[in-house]
Amino acid sequence: ITLKTPMPYYEIMDNLISDHRTDEARRYLDEYKTLPVHKPFLVPVYEAYIAMADFDIQKADQIMQNALNEFSGNSGFLFECGQYYARKCEYQKAIEFYEASWVADEDKKPRYTDALDGIATIYKIVGESAKAIEVYDRMIACIKEEWGYKEEDAAVIEVERKKRKLLK
């Protein structure tokens, strides 16, 4: 059965990759590539994750490096690079890609705050609470200024909660 929407493919591939069932993941990736609504920049990302699941980190890194040549201006790809390097615990590299993703969307406001959230999460992991708080402040500014939310709105309250937790 070939599905016409990409979301189930992401879920299936993610689960197969987590189980190291890479041959099956490759088959679904091949199907995914035929969908008119597929995102071309995700193909090498999934190829890299499949290589990682096959314990071939060098191949995975090479796939990502090659894809960077093609998709270097794509904020979605840059975000996925951040995700990739965060998964590898290469946190400084992940932060650089998250920042690049954020900057690449400068002219596409209002921006989603996922890249900033990734940065804040890394700072929390490495114990740099002050830097995480600064990033949460950037998120709050985006949510208010670009999206028009107010202090009492759930989106602002949630980030404020995360920030307060670090302040304690």
Task: Please write the tens of the pLDDT for every residue from 126-144.
Answer: 999 999 999 999 999 999 9
Q: What is the mean pLDDT of the chain?
A: 95
For the CA atoms of 116, 118, 121, 122, what is the dihedral angle to 10 degrees? -110
Distance CA 134, CA 4 (A): 41
Q: Can you tell me the distance from the alpha carbon of 163 to that of 146, in angstroms, rounded to the nearest whole number?
A: 20
Mean pLDDT of 104-118: 96
Look at residue 34 and tell me whether its pLDDT is greater than 60.
yes
**Percent above pLDDT 70 for the chain:** 98
Predicted confidence band of residue 2 (pLDDT cuts 50, 70, 90): low
Estimate the share of the chain in helix, then strand, then coil, as percent rounded to the nearest 5.
70, 0, 30
Q: pLDDT digit string (tens) for 43-102?
A: 999 999 999 999 999 999 999 999 999 999 999 999 999 999 999 999 999 999 999 999
Token pair for residue 15? 């689960």
**Euclidean distance between CA atoms 45 and 49, whole angstroms:** 6
Bigger pLDDT: 7 or 136? 136
Averaged pLDDT, 147-165 = 96
Q: Which residue has the tokens 């402040």?
A: 137
Token pair recorded at residue 130: 């002050």
Burial of residue 88, with CB atoms counted within 10 A of its CB: 0-12 exposed, 13-18 middle, 19 or more buried: middle
Token pair of 142 as six digits: 């985006």
Q: Where does the pLDDT of residue 6 fall: very low under 50, low under 70, confident under 90, or very high at 90 and above?
A: confident
Residue 116 has pLDDT above 60, yes or no: yes
